[in-house]
Structure 1
Amino acid sequence: MYQEERLLSILDFLQKNNRISVEEICTMFDVSRDTARRDLVKLEEENSIIRTRGGAILPSIQEEIKNYSKRLETVSQEKKIIGKKAASLIYPNDNIILDTSTTVQACAEHLQNMECTIITNSINQAEVLSNKSHINIQLLGGTLHKEHRFLYGSSVVEKLSDYYVDKLFVGVIGISETGLTIAHEEDGVVKRKMVKQAKQVIVLADHTKLGTNHFFKFASLKDVDLLITDKTPPKAFREILRKNNVELLVADGETKGE
């Protein structure tokens, strides 16, 4: 077998098993330890693996977080359905916090023009709501994150201390037994404060976010009152929600739980 063929087979093995040892390479291809090490060196030079003591593992790949404008271009039908369902939970005279996620923006877009107060650190949410004459908008001032279009910093966190609201609608990149996670710490610090200021914490997350984690944890599952998603999660995940007293609402209007 040529080296190129072995390298492809090694990568295929790693995709299925996450790691491989020099001994396994020797056994699989009937080659010497020196040949196995040369194969791993070659793969490392191509940035295909990370060599470890006695073998190799695949490099960790984090999904790139697109900037806000790019994410808006790819807002899925699932997010729109979730946003519409979330908007139906806002009533006249409610005091609400909306965070900076594109799923929460879908909520803002479906919100009826009613007497209520919306607090947000998202310039996009404020712009969407500015066309609704009866809605009072409180835009939290701070440092602008230009790429992701949110305001952050100590002034935002301090101002949030002045507000106690009925509901918080918050998006995540990951929600799991570990908690709620997001890509940017500066955004997460603001979300953490938002959670503390709300009577009811409502998480908006499509099914791809369930059971996953990302960089910065800003809340635990016990902080969440309601999760709105687009598909009924697996039984194991529903059990995790139940243990943490999190209600589940599937965006087609069907409530699931055990």
Structure 2
Amino acid sequence: MYQEERLQLILNYLHEHKRINVEEICNLCNTSRDTARRDLVKLEERGSILRTRGGALLPTIIKEIKSYKDRISNDSKEKKAIGKLAASLIKNGDRIIMDTSTTVQACSEFLQVNDCTVITNSINQAYILSNKPEVNIHLLGGKLNQEQRFLYGPSVISMLSNYYVDKVFIGICGLTEEGVMVAFEEEGFIMRKMIEQADQVIVLVDSSKFGKKGFFKVTDLSQIDIIVTDKLPDKSLIDILDSNQINIMLAK
């Protein structure tokens, strides 16, 4: 059997069973363990699988990263509901950090306080908040990611180190037992620093992101205090969130 035929058999098996081990590959393709391992290496190089100890899994990484414009045009009722509930957590006098996600932008739109200070690296967040005279805005300066509309780089992280805030609001593209994840490495490093500077970490995430991985891990679940979402995750993930003492708030 040619290698391409074996690789297709392995992928077909994975799509049906979600995982495979070396012994199953040997039986499936009537091949040796060494050949099975080489086939796994080839599939990993192509990005088709995630190798594990003794086998492989189908990747669950989110592959298509839409532009900010596309993401905001697909604003959902769930996202708005999450943003509205998150905004209710912001009190008069709070000093907060808001990241660049469109869900956190929804939070900005519903923000109603008499006095609040917001630090952000999102030019869209700054624009929305500029229409709220009761909000003091600190826009972090750096290099502009034009497609995703956020500022990044060493200068942003350096500026963040000067601020200590009550709360940080972050949006993510994936949450698993391994932690919270985003699509862009440069954004992830900034979000790590944002989390370090806050007394309370609040994650805004719609339920479709539960169990999904992103490209870059921002932090462990142990660093999260509150998750605002539209639906509960499955029981296994709820148990893990509970063990990390994370409060889950459901938006109606």
| TM class, shorter-length | 0.7 to 0.9
Match of 2:129 in 1: 129
Match of 1:29 in 2: none
Can you list the C-alpha shifts for 1:88-143, whole angstroms capped at 9, x where unaligned?
A: 11111111100000110010111115311111000010011111111111100011
Instruction: Measure the CA separation in 2 of the matches of 1:144 and 1:250.
Output: 34
User: Could you tell me whether the CA contact under 8 Å between 2:174 and 2:180 is conserved in 1?
Assistant: yes
Match of 1:249 in 2: 249
Matches within 5 A, 1:2-81: 13-17=13-17, 21=25, 24=28, 60=59, 62=61, 63-81=63-81
Instruction: Measure the CA separation in 2 of the matches of 1:137 and 1:198.
Output: 17
| Counterpart AA for 1:24 | L
Match of 2:120 in 1: 120
3-state SS of paired residue (1:194): helix
Match of 1:215 in 2: 215
User: Could you tell me whether the CA contact under 8 Å between 1:83 and 1:105 is conserved in 2?
Assistant: yes
Instruction: Measure the CA separation in 1 of the matches of 2:173 and 2:208.
Output: 9
User: Could you tell me whether the CA contact under 8 Å between 2:142 and 2:155 is conserved in 1?
Assistant: yes
Compared with structure 1, are the counterparts of its residues 141 and 243 closer, same or farther at alpha carbon in structure 2 (3 Å cutoff)?
same
| Counterpart AA for 1:240 | I
Compared with structure 1, are the counterparts of its residues 192 and 9 closer, same or farther at alpha carbon in structure 2 (3 Å cutoff)?
closer
User: Per-residue deviation at 1:15?
Assistant: 2.2
3-state SS of paired residue (2:126): helix
Match of 2:138 in 1: 138
RMSD, aligned α-carbons: 3.0
Bigger RCO of structures 1 and 2 (CA < 8 A, at least 6 apart): 2
How many residues matched?
Answer: 228
| Counterpart AA for 2:104 | V
Instruction: Measure the CA separation in 2 of the matches of 1:241 and 1:98.
Output: 23
User: Could you tell me whether the CA contact under 8 Å between 2:14 and 2:58 is conserved in 1?
Assistant: no
Q: Larger C-alpha radius of gyration, 1 or 2? A: 1
User: Per-residue deviation at 1:24?
Assistant: 3.4
User: Could you tell me whether the CA contact under 8 Å between 2:185 and 2:216 is conserved in 1?
Assistant: yes
Instruction: Say if 2:95 is the partner of 1:99.
Output: no
Segments of 5+ residues of structure 1 without an aligned counterpart are 1-7, 27-39, 51-56, 253-258
User: Could you tell me whether the CA contact under 8 Å between 1:113 and 1:132 is conserved in 2?
Assistant: no
Matches within 5 A, 1:152-231: 152-231=152-231
Can you list the C-alpha shifts for 1:160-216, whole angstroms capped at 9, x where unaligned?
A: 111111110001111121111111110000000000000100000111111222111
